[in-house]
Structure 1
Amino acid sequence: MKKRSSLCNILVLMLAIVFAGSSTVSSQVLNKPVAADNPNLGGNSPWTAACASSSFNEYFVNFTWSPPLVNSDNEFVLELSDANGNFGSPRELARASDKNNIFDFDFEFAVPTDIRGENYKMRVRSTSPAKTSPASDAYSMYFVDYNSPLLISQDGNGTIPPGGTIQLCGGASVTLAAHNIPNASSYQYNWYRSGTPLAEKSESITVSSAGMYYVELDYGSICSGSANTLSNTIEIITGSSLGVAINGSDNVGLCSGDSYTLQASITGMGLTYTWYKDNSIVAGPVLEGDSFAVNTSASGFDGNYEVEISGSGACLERSAPVTVNNLGNFEVTRQNASEIVLLPAQSAILSATTTATSPNYQWFKDGSPITGATNSTLNISETGNYFVRVTETSGGCSGSPVDSDTTTIVSPDSFEFVIAYVGAYTACESSDATLSLSAINAVSSSGAKTDVTSEVQSSFAYQWKKDGASIGGETSKTITLSSFEDNGGYTLEGVLDSFNAASNNLNVKLSTSEVLEISSNGTVLCDGAAPIVLTTSKDLTSETFQWLRNGQVVDSSAETLTADEVGDYQLVITTNDCPLNSNVITVNAFDESLLSLDKPQDLVIIEGETETVTASGGQSYEWFDSNNTLLGTQDFYSFQQEGEYLLVASFGNCTISRVITITYRDTFAVPNVITVNGDGINDLWVLPNTFSRNSDVLVTIYDETGKEIFSQANYENNWPQSTTTFNKSSMIFYYKITKGGSSLKQGTITVIR
């Protein structure tokens, strides 16, 4: 940093005082800030662009100004424009409060982390007096928050193509985007094709022309190169699509040993062919290899076959697949459950699917073929074990028949019902409940259960029971309960032919609509006060109840409770197997903090205005003035006069007192102009009460040469005195007001005669 010697600064300060007293100098001159060298870097020169980062962000600008002196409370503020050089909403970079006697100094600042632009400007503003310097020259400023090489890929998917090459066919296009930078859309980018800058500035670019594409973050004309963000290169090559296919059917059935050749639709163009089976290469790449013989003698020859072509001026493209099936190898799949419960007077349909090309079907029951059962489905009405046998009949292949999995048909031994709550239900909290049949299970002799709800629910006759007794009129699958008198255990029974079914039991406990209230003769424990007694209007004679403190039982026999400890008190009555809870009464220990005021106790008001103070927490209030006169009994009082006031708040037999002090605010400032024309108006320099008639405050006045002409403690608003003469029509004097050696106020007085 630039330093001045103490003697030099004293000389400049003396000149500033002289200039301040001159009638030809009216205000300071603030010069525009300029970039300065960094004193912490040896051999450094002023910066031309600010390329900041997390590892380096230390910059300096030089600022000069001319006397007269600024006020002692002045601060110089270094401000930054927006990226276009406008100061509509300037940002503060640095602030100096100790340079009011230094006319040439440097500001140190850090570039904000969201700054990116080419035309930032700076200026300096003084606060006392308020002045603003001219704007600096425009500077390129960037905070480089990402400084690693970018990686680009197709659509930003993170996969860089093999060899960094992407081929486009028939005028197609591709989108390239960076995939390794967080918040990619918040940056600007420089895209290049074969070294030529492109106009696109966003994080992605859509291209269709051949070339070498790469990108970097746009950190401006100077900072971009130093940021080291240049990406990988992706080469775009173009070609024509020929539309290759495999001749013939796209679904071929072959037997082992059959001869079959796949033929590409494009031949004789000097192309290279690669043949695939199930996405794995089985032949090639071979120049002019436009056909492939399927080896049906090999195990697993069946699958999906494709051909891929490439060559000069042609796009790399692959055909649609051709499916080759092994007619001697197929599957049979059962389409129903492994076990089916056959209900009385009902039938069921069994079915199967197969991959055989031309299948023959034969169904079996208990190991024997069923006469005439030669379709893919079978309608059954008897119990037993069923499966279907499939034989392939096409293609000249002779293979073994394939059997489906077996389905076991059983009849139920019994039925059971499952009932459940419908919707939201909480015991002892819900005011209503709906119960409904949710499932009917057929139970076999082995205990196995099968859900048969949809098949038989409409065939049963139903009856709801409460605590084992039938409920008149409740013969549907659903019952709704809406009174705590309905509380109890519920079941559902049903009859179908010779079967009798019963459900599980559901307990219903509905809440009561009764409200239980407790009250007390107080809520604050205080020495010497009457005991706090909790009571209720509810007759507890025949009730089962408990008094609780903080959730713990403290009494279960007395109909009233004396609260001799702080805590949350509540009464709970057990009715219809559910608790009935009262309101909660909180008993607090007596404490000064129970009384709250919405304003400070020492309150400053403007004379002639009203300020209202509101109290809270107490049961009653009394407001008194300094003569102990009762002013009011509400929870608030509006003050207009200075003085001391007393608030007494009652909490049962306890009280809290607060003293409130009201003082007036000083509302006028130190005058800087007086007129000594003898008219009795503004002839004297009159100070506010804060500074006048105070033995601890010293008032000193200097003439325009800096000579002391008046000094007085306990100033009585008596300057200028009658003996003071003024030899010009308008003269400037300087004043300083101090207390205990510390400056309170300083400035100028213009005397007009």
Structure 2
Amino acid sequence: MLTLSTLNKLILSLCLFLICFIEHAEAQVVLGTPNLGFTQACANASFNTYNLSFVFSPESALESTNQFSIEMSNADGDFSEAIIIYTSQPGEFITSPATLEFSLPETTAGENYRLRVKSSAPAANSSGSVNFAAYYKLQDSPFTINNLVSTGAYCTGGSYLLTIDNPGTGNNDSPLNYPSLTFNWFRETSPTTSEFISEGPTLSVSTEGTYFVETNYGSCTSNSFSNRVTITEATSGEADATIASSLGNPFCPEQGNTTLSTIGGISYQWFKNGEIIPEATNQQYQTNESGTFSVQVDLGDCSASGSIELVSELFNSTINVDEVNSIEEGETLIVNVSTDAISPVFEWYFNNQLIPNETTDTIEASDFGDYKVTITETSGCNSSKTYEFTVEEALDPFPDVDNIPNVISPNGDGINDTWVLPLQYVSGTNTTVMIMSNRGDVVFQTDDYQNNWPQTNLNTNSINQVFYYIITTENNITKKGTITVVK
């Protein structure tokens, strides 16, 4: 029989147990299965925001330090190696239901992901969500294969290798720059249908058809696909070798060289206008010229050839003045440029300063200095050409000099280059001017002297050369002397 003291102890122990049980029960929280705000997640750099909602009970069980987190399974829906993709702030969510917003990791790629929610205080896990497809599209733009050449050929019994270009031509964003991506190759079965052929960055083709490749983003719609390439079997001994121009045809040389590419083979030889181009023996050839370019491709047991009429879009233009122009003080020089540029814009400069309001193809230059005009084609090739010219003051051909010079130095420096006489002996005075060599041979004679001797190169050697002159005026006054030509 229990004593009163023992009974009291049992009652006290039972009360303590009930108190601990109730406290423990109140510290538990139940998290409902997440409800996804999407059916599939197709993320990229410009869009990667998703949400889920869930309920929890009781609300009072959450401690002030509680944080909710989202765990993401592997691509097969397994949480054994789950990763946390979101964690809330302590005490951020205290009422049910709650909605959490998150982003996908860039490594996401699969069809059977699941999400679950966890709480930290108290600790609890929800059940896993429904399965969903999710991909982060690291590269989501069209890319090129086969150097953008639209055809390829293989010899009977052989094959042709299609590859994703890396980096490719122009602004091609090669998906090979993203090592985590995988690829699916297809062959067209009709203009709107295709069949899966193989996976991988390359495809060896031994069946005729039109092929292309897509980045493997599963059920997510993607713009990451290649151009089409039609492969044929060379049964007649020689196939057609298509040539593609990376800058198009016509092309704009202002963008740099265009790259000509042909079908893959064992060896290559390029030609321009029928003439062999030395050392142009690769699958690609760069040029900024127009002309007919052709190529011979050795495919092994057969060959291929092709050509392209390459046309430059660079516009033509001319200017009506020389690089150096002379005008008298107060005179003007009308400068005009002609061009076949599409929607041209004209900019005129004087001493490297833009001339305001001069926007036509003509300018009237009246100041001495350096000029230039830039012609810009604003449609099509979007290229520019610049012409530079100088306007300087014209030299007075008949300056007022006092004496007949006996030394000249015709070296082209603009100083003492010709024999300049006083005004009473030059053009309009009916004065006869005769110049003789030191042997007495007449080398120059005129009745209308223009201060322009010597007009040609005198072929003097390293020794100064001496000439003799006789000047006879209209009233028979004669002047004689020597002219030393300094080299």
TM above 0.5, yes or no, is no
TM-score (norm 1): 0.27
The higher relative CO (CA closer than 8 Å, separation ≥ 6) is in 2
Structure number having the greater strand percentage: 1
Larger-Rg structure: 1
TM-score (norm 2): 0.41
